[in-house]
A and B are shown apart, each in its own frame.
Chain A
Amino acid sequence: MKPAAFDYLRPSSRREACELLHEAGDDARLIAGGQSLMAVLNMRLAQPKRLIDIAGIEDLHYIERRDDHLAVGAGVTQAELLEYPGLAEAVPLLAQAMPWIGHWQTRNRGTVCGSIAHADPSAELPLCLATLGGQVVLENRRGKSRRVMAEDFFQGVLTTDRRQDELITEVRFPLARPGAEYRFREVAMRHGDFAIVALAAVIDSNRVTLGVGGVADRPVSRELARHADPSEALNALAWSLGAEDDAHATAAYRRQLIRELGRELIAGGPSDEENAHARQG
């Protein structure tokens, strides 16, 4: 289908973008890469009166490695972050999880911050941000910025803490901690489809942080003890997320995936690459 009609606005600064958002009230949507929003517009699931394109704002296009985090500006595409030299060493979880986002062709335009802003509960980037305890940086029309922890930012299906006149300017992924291991697994109907269950883990010597995507209404991250048998904790986690049946999988299957893949992930099962070869072989 074709999108319903809208006014198209291309601000050249953050401040102007926020002013436009404020003026438009609930009738405006922001677009960057558009790899989620354009599909929604084409299917007329959303019919905003104004579309505000932030692609013309120059100073949002940066990736910066700082003391304790990797900062990604709102203009950066997923492909650009994947190609960032040293990503696997700086934020190994991203290097593992990002090849699962959509396809080569959508990662070429889709932005990192756009995926965070869209807040699809099955999306990989929100899951990574939540599991690592990252932050979202927002700026309003007065030029005031605030930082929100991922766990407070994601509030439900496609729902976030962003206020109506705010622009996400940056997301911050904590850098890898020495000695910690990072692992990611996903089950989808096909590679590139929405995750039925996606799991991300940070494994330290005495604890495991396990993030789950695709099950609850937002990515959920929990801490488990490292040495104990994780079966019971995984079962409790699986039941706590309110899994539901849908066209792709039953709630029971989702819980089973959390238990089985969770156990494998914590134990250090086959890597994604090995899985990819097995799948394609």
Chain B
Amino acid sequence: MHARADQRIRVTLTLNGRERSGYAEPRTQLCDFLRHELGATGTHVGCEHGVCGACTVRVDGRASRSCLMLAVQAEGRRLDTVESLAGEEGLSDLQQAFRRHHALQCGFCTAGILMSCEEFLDRVADPSEAQVRDMLSGHLCRCTGYTGMVQAVLDVARTRREATVPDSQQENNDV
């Protein structure tokens, strides 16, 4: 693939389960493509150099900064943003936990933080507080602080674990 600097290239990706297309110049950041071209404004843009984490989205499941990726690099990939979390029944368990634990005030950084937390919870079922804090160190929150977020993540991890019946118990039930 060879694209000229002033060329607008068609980019097709799967956004929150739906195939979406739009046009981007080579230099267009993924976050701007999502917001301006696809209208997915849930993803926020903060520092634009990979420090604040506000623009974090999931790329093929992995939490990544969408300001440190070009739209053209997202061709054919699966993107999940904060818009994917709430369903018809309302807020997701993680979003509810953020609310319950006062893990946000202004909410600017929250969209990115939720996407990191979702990947983290998928990978680490029984995290320690230190692990949660290490994951959150990739995000800056300037108004609320992190204590509520840590509690929310630990809370959701516990609830999700309890909702998953361990194999041994399942066997016992069968007997």
- Name A's B-contacting residues (CB within 8 A): 1-10, 34-35, 38-39, 41-43, 49, 51, 53, 55-56, 79, 99, 102-106, 108-109, 190-192, 276-277, 280
Q: Are B137 and A190 in contact (CB under 8 A)?
A: yes
Q: Are A105 and B4 in contact (CB under 8 A)?
A: no
How large, as a class, is the contact surface on chain B? 35 or more
Q: Are A105 and B138 in contact (CB under 8 A)?
A: yes
Say if the beta carbon of B98 comes within 8 Å of chain A.
no
Flag B119-136 by CB within 8 Å of A: 1 or 0 each: 110000000011001110
Please name all residues of chain B whose beta carbon is closer than 8 Å to the beta carbon of A9 when the two chains form the complex: 1-3
Contact partner of A104 (CB less than 8 A), chosen from B4, B50, B120, is B120
Please name all residues of chain B whose beta carbon is closer than 8 Å to the beta carbon of A191 when the two chains form the complex: 134, 137
Q: Are B116 and A105 in contact (CB under 8 A)?
A: yes
Question: SS class of chain B's interface: helix, strand, loop or mixed?
Answer: mixed
Q: Are A109 and B49 in contact (CB under 8 A)?
A: no
Q: Are B129 and A106 in contact (CB under 8 A)?
A: no
Q: Are B69 and A38 in contact (CB under 8 A)?
A: yes
Please name all residues of chain B whose beta carbon is closer than 8 Å to the beta carbon of A190 when the two chains form the complex: 137
Of all chain B residues, the one with the shortest Cβ separation from A109 is: B64
Please name all residues of chain A whose beta carbon is closer than 8 Å to the beta carbon of B68 when the two chains form the complex: 34-35, 38-39, 42, 106, 109
Contact partner of B137 (CB less than 8 A), chosen from A7, A8, A103, is A103
Please name all residues of chain B whose beta carbon is closer than 8 Å to the beta carbon of A106 when the two chains form the complex: 50, 65, 68, 138
Please name all residues of chain B whose beta carbon is closer than 8 Å to the beta carbon of A35 when the two chains form the complex: 50, 65, 68
Please name all residues of chain B whose beta carbon is closer than 8 Å to the beta carbon of A103 when the two chains form the complex: 53, 135, 137-138
A41 to B48, CA, bound (A): 10
* Nearest Cβ on chain B to A194's Cβ, whole angstroms: 11
Of all chain A residues, the one with the shortest Cβ separation from B3 is: A8
A187 to B3, CA, bound (A): 43
Flag B97-113 by CB within 8 Å of A: 1 or 0 each: 00000000000000000
* Nearest Cβ on chain B to A27's Cβ, whole angstroms: 12
Please name all residues of chain A whose beta carbon is closer than 8 Å to the beta carbon of B49 when the two chains form the complex: 38-39, 42-43
* Nearest Cβ on chain B to A260's Cβ, whole angstroms: 24
A55 to B75, CA, bound (A): 11
Q: Are A8 and B72 in contact (CB under 8 A)?
A: yes
A1 to B47, CA, bound (A): 8
